[in-house]
Amino acid sequence: MVAYEFYWLDQITGYHLIGLIPERRKNPIRITKKSVINWGERMFGKSLDIKDIFFIQLTIDENSGRIFRPDPHFITQQKI
């Protein structure tokens, strides 16, 4: 299962995990960086500045629940 881990950047204290959302859309054409950020904004509130939010796409093994994170070099390219 694909999920997204959302982070918020506070200029003083650094990065904060704000939530995890599983991907439920079946049509991959509808899944874009902008749609994922918009979804996160709706879930976690509009009081956060969208330029300070980013996400990491994760894979969760449905049998074990184990979370697989991407390579750290890939993560830096996902920032919006």
Q: How far, in Å, are 13, 40, 47 from residue 3 at the CA level? A: 25, 11, 23
pLDDT beyond 70 at 20 = yes
- 73 sits in which H/E element: helix 72-75
What 3-state DSSP class applies to 74?
Answer: helix
Residue 6 is predicted with a pLDDT of 92
How many Cβ atoms from other residues are within 10 Å of residue 6's Cβ?
Answer: 22
pLDDT beyond 70 at 74 = no
Instruction: Give the tens place of pLDDT for each residue, 21-69.
Output: 999 988 888 899 889 988 888 888 777 777 888 899 999 998 998 988 8
pLDDT beyond 90 at 5 = yes
The whole-model pTM stands at 0.77
